[in-house]
Amino acid sequence: MSATTKEEIVQQFVAERVPVRSVIGYGFGDFGGNLAFTLSTAFLLYYYTDVAGLSAAAVATMFFVVRLWDAFADMFSGRLVDRTMTRFGKFRPFLLFGAVPLLFLSFLTFHVPGSLDDGAKLLYAYVTYAALGLLYSMVNIPYGSLASAMTQSVRERAKLVSSRFFGAALGGVVLTYVIAPKISHLKAQKSSLSPSEYTHRVQAIFTQTTLLFIVLGTAAFLLTFFLCREQVVRTQPRVSMKDTWDTLRHNRPLAYLCVASFFYLIGLFAVGGASAYYAQYVMGDIKWLAPITLVNSGISLVAAPFIPKLVDVFGKTTLFQWCGLFTVVGGLALFFTPTGAIAPALIFLGVKGIGGALINTVMFGLEADTVEYGEWKSGKRSEGATYAVFSFTRKITQSIGGALGAAALSVGGYLSATASVPNPVQPDSAIMAIRVSMGIIPAVAALAAMIVFWRYPLTDQRFREIRNETELRKRQQGHLIAPDGEVLG
């Protein structure tokens, strides 16, 4: 069979366009997931220290421990996905049945009972946050894996990950503009409120918001379930532990991607927890958290529709390699921005946000490509475990990055709010720690990521060659399994 004929045969199976409704529907999934995820990354450190009254040191330890637990929850979820096959497919059932429990756990996490003593509050925080992480893994792992099963086209996958990032950014804007202005308004009234009344009202903001997100998030996940369909066929409905190991152990592109992402995301998660503090103590008012999020998310919203075209022109590998320069330049400039300089701070956040938008979008497209590489090497398709390893890396960095942000506050001598001192004056060392978390840590981490990714071996062209060879081999082998588990012959 000629090479041209082989190419024509393969393109019958891999070049189908993903319907617009499915591209939009896929974005709703990350909108729903980020109502829980971004809420915790942006506000949980602030909530624990300034509302629940836990010390920054205790929260730093808890973030490290619980987020490490989250990483292993990802591996459990990945194996669960790979062993699943239903008439709805392998991935979509988890979205259908996991949405409400996930979002309800978000409500419980931001509802630490004020009547408990400090030890009981900390225990409650550990339990609810760990449970939230487990439920998030059981929804997010199948959701992230779904993109690799919807299409094998480089361009169509770029559309899916762009839609996903658009949905995530939109979720970030929504939750920030729901919460931050209300907290800022309360702070303006603080002098007329007792400490207990102030804390009670801030708690009410988080309670009302998380209850609202149960409704919005569930609707978003249901839209993803109904609008998206799995299309890629496989040679076996379920994957054993041995098969999973075979798909992962020789997957060099996945290894390089995970290490590079490890460094990029350390900076991302360190910033997530520090943003509220930067708004309040460097820019002068927590109300600036809304513009900070709008700048970061707005860059993402504007950039997302253009990412498929950028992928066409430059390729995912080149984009991922060089977009870290925006993070380096923006982070260093942000560190040296004077206190109270609102406009420069927002400009440099925007520069850094361009890098973050490209990095955090393209990495999901690269992860989807590593699924095909693992299948090419082993003959077994394992989307769940591949995405779980990638997500495991993200959770490890979330643990380290979040702990770094909280630890920097502790080392800098940050003073948590208490009932007797609800608005303490922070020392200069605490302000410096906030600056380091927002600027220096992301810049250094991005530079390390760029160095690691230099040796990444899977270009878009090489991916197409591997994908085509694998798909032709599967068709010649026969006994293919459809997404609903039906044997095609």
Whether 292 is in a domain gets the answer: yes
Give the single-character DSSP code of 454.
Answer: T
CATH for 338: 1.20.1250.20
* pLDDT attached to residue 421: 63
SS3 letters for 15-63? CCCCCHHHHHHHHHHHHHHHHHHHHHHHHHHHHHHHCCCCCHHHHHHHH
Flag whether 9 is in a domain: no
pTM: 0.75
Cβ-Cβ contacts under 8 Å for 206 (sequence gap 6 or more): 43, 47, 51, 110, 111, 179
Tokens of 188: 């303006």
Count of all residues that appear for the chain in the document: 489
Residue 139 in any domain: the answer is yes
Nearest Cα to Cα of residue 383 among 177, 239, 223, 168: 239
Residues 6+ apart with CB under 8 A from 200: 114
**Quick check: is 11 in a domain?**
no
For residue 478, the model assigns a pLDDT of 62
What pLDDT, on the 0 to 100 scale, is given for residue 453? 93
Chain centroid offset of residue 357 CA: 12
In a domain, 233, yes or no: no
Structural domain total, the chain: 1
pLDDT recorded at residue 222: 96
Tokens 């910033």: give the residue.
271
Q: Is 400 contained in some domain?
A: yes
Phi, psi of 275 (to 5 degrees): -60, -45
Residue 324 is assigned to a structural domain of this protein: yes
8 domain residue, yes or no: no
Contacts with 449 (C-beta within 8 Å, 6 or more apart), sequence order: 260, 261, 262, 263, 264, 324
What values do phi and psi take at 347, rounded to 5?
Answer: -65, -45
pLDDT at 1: 44
Domain that holds residue 97: 21-226+241-457
DSSP string, 392-416: HHHHHHHHHHHHHHHHHHHHTTPPP
For the residues of 355-379, what is the DSSP string, one character each? HHHHHHHHHHHHHHHHHHHHHHHHS
Ordered per-residue pLDDT tens for the chain, 489 residues: 444 455 554 555 565 678 999 999 999 999 998 888 778 877 888 889 888 888 888 988 888 888 778 878 888 888 888 888 888 888 999 999 999 999 999 999 999 998 888 899 999 999 999 999 999 999 999 998 898 888 888 888 888 988 988 888 788 777 767 776 777 677 677 777 777 788 888 888 889 888 998 999 999 999 999 999 988 877 666 777 777 777 778 899 999 999 999 998 887 777 766 787 888 888 888 778 778 877 776 777 777 788 888 888 888 888 888 888 998 999 999 899 888 889 999 999 888 888 888 888 888 889 888 988 988 888 888 888 888 888 888 777 876 776 777 778 788 888 776 656 667 778 888 888 888 888 888 899 899 999 999 989 888 888 888 888 887 887 777 656 666 556 555
